[in-house]
Amino acid sequence: MATFNGLSQNPVYHKLNELAKEPFDLTMAGALNKKRISSYHAQTAGYSLLYGTQRLNHDVLTALQQLADDSQLVTQFLQMKKGEVINKIDGYESEHRQVLHTCVRDVFTGKPLHRDSAQQAKTELAKLQNFLEDLTRCTISTPDGGQFTDMILIGIGGSDLGPRALYMALNAYCLPDKRIHFISNVDPDDAAMVLRGINLKNTLVNVVSKSGTTLETLSNEELVRNAYTKSGLDPAKHFIAVTGKNSPMDNPDKYLQSFHMFDYIGGRYSATSMVGAVILSFALGYDAFIELLKGANSVDIAAEETDIRKNIPLLMALIGIWNNNFLGHQTLAILPYSQALVRFTAHLQQCDMESNGKSIDRQGRQLSYNSGPIIWGEPGTNGQHAFYQLIHQGTTTVPVEFIGFRKSQYGEDLTIKNTTSQEKLIANLLAQSIALATGREHQNPNRRFAGNRPNSVLIADQLTPFSMGALLAIYETKIAFQGFLWNINSFDQEGVQLGKVLANQLLDNLVESHTTDNTISKNDDTGKLMLKAAGII
């Protein structure tokens, strides 16, 4: 791949800085008029993005289009999907890998963009389909010969957040007799709490770790294996694995069945690989999972559109850059008006912050501009009764991405005071968007709203497996586009290494303390001093 310049070297950078000195004023009378609302409206894969409530105008959009074109964002996206090695830092040791999370959903045509990885995806899907049939037919069964009803997912980070967020999002479509449980934290109380409420006999345990060496996952696996053994059950008849080929966990003696993941898919992008596939197809059925893949794939294709006004992930990426690098806002609240998306923001927090929380560019040079923002949020309307006070009247401006759906999932609703709960939900979402944008004057300064708080509304018809897949891919693709613009490697995570190294040193100190006294000597290292100060040794 060619070397790309950073954001600040782009010819249009100074133009955008000029435009940012007087951003569009959303508080002007008539600012949110018919023309603005209807023209600041993009559509992709069943979603609409209403962005008239952002602080931008056509001049800004034209400059952002130029930024996208000059940075060849769509070209870079295509190169990624075609298997170019983009997970690297030029001139330095790095993971040096392809980035092919899109391949696991590029399985619906005879011409995938990257043939080998799509073939591997198909092989794993076929294995999964066979395994699910074995479960249905009770060829693989509980000790009593019945169907397994429960599955525990043991994983952490990318092996937990994505699958968990999607499972909760699609719980309404769950098969009636299936339940999923999650153990992730090395805190032993996490496993204890889950195990307390479960019938192990009817439960499959799905251990997920690409490396097969994740500390938390291996510890929790041992805790759960121990619980099985203590109950007189054979773990080998309950445990399955999702892991990298030839990893220490890729061991048929220990697992009923193993599914594979590959080093060209990062953990935080693995929700549509076997990492999410196994639990989601167990809980929702295989066909529902395929719908999810189709939704994601539809965005992967639509995001090749170069007109930013017709490509939601690209447009969201550029609006994010506008708010972050030109208007100076360091955080982004993602606020879904859907209780089912209760953990989706946490997944995006990982996906975005682990990808774009970087300080060097793809050539190893210090960045001269901000990269990824802090991502946070909780579902509305709940948040309205919590942190929205600060979003409306605090001293820090927080850009917001609202997400909503026209219909509920269960359809169980009542009309109270002439409107349904679903109508109240959507009315609140749109009201918040308008209130943040326009603000309100008032003679009582405490009832004054400054407005000009930038936000967008992303809306689709209903949260289904298909639209969930599309939503996931919209954000994955937005994050990739932003990484390309910042000229950073969005696909490694060297920032998690130092903590691991130090934790191992502290564990050595702890082991040592089991057998020796804990007098602090003059040469003791920080770790031992902290353990002592914290009252651990």
423 included as an active-site residue: no
Q: How far is the CB of 274 from its own copies (least distance, A)?
A: 18
Kindly state the smallest distance separating residue 205's Cβ from its own copies, in Å: 16
Q: Choosing from 124, 354, 401, 476, which is the catalytic residue?
A: 354
Task: Name which of 106 and 160 has its Cβ closer to its own copies.
Answer: 160
Q: Is 500 a catalytic residue?
A: yes
Nearest to 97 by CA among 263, 245, 244, 273: 263
Q: Which is nearer to its own copies, 127 or 532 (CB)?
A: 532
- Give the residue among 440, 331, 341 at the shortest CA–CA distance from 387: 331
Give the phi and the psi of residue 76 in degrees, each rounded to 5: -65, -40
Residue 385 known to be catalytic: yes
Residues in the chain: 537
Please give the span between the terminal C-alpha atoms of the chain, in angstroms, as a whole number: 52
E strand intervals along 379-529: 400-405, 415-416, 419-420, 455-460
Nearer to its own copies by Cβ, of 141 and 428: the residue is 428
Identify whether the C-beta of residue 44 lies closer than 8 Å to the C-beta of residue 95.
no
Q: How far is the CB of 191 from its own copies (least distance, A)?
A: 7
The DSSP string of 285-339 is -HHHHHHHHHHHHHHHHHTT---GGG-HHHHHHHHHHIIIIIS---EEEEEES-G
CA-to-CA dists, residue 427 to 178, 333, 424, 463, 530, angstroms = 34, 19, 5, 18, 51
**Smaller CB distance to its own copies: residue 117 or 371?**
371
Least distance between its own copies and beta carbon 465 (Å): 15
> Minimum CB separation from its own copies for residue 462, in Å?
11
- Indicate which residue of 21, 385, 514, 522 is catalytic: 385
Nearer to its own copies, 133 or 423 (CB): 423
* E strand map for 192-271: 203-209, 239-244, 257-261
d(CA 47, CA 403): 10
Nearer to its own copies by Cβ, of 145 and 418: the residue is 418
Take residue 488 and report the two structure tokens written for it.
Answer: 């950073």
Q: How far is the CB of 347 from its own copies (least distance, A)?
A: 9
Catalytic residues: 354, 385, 500
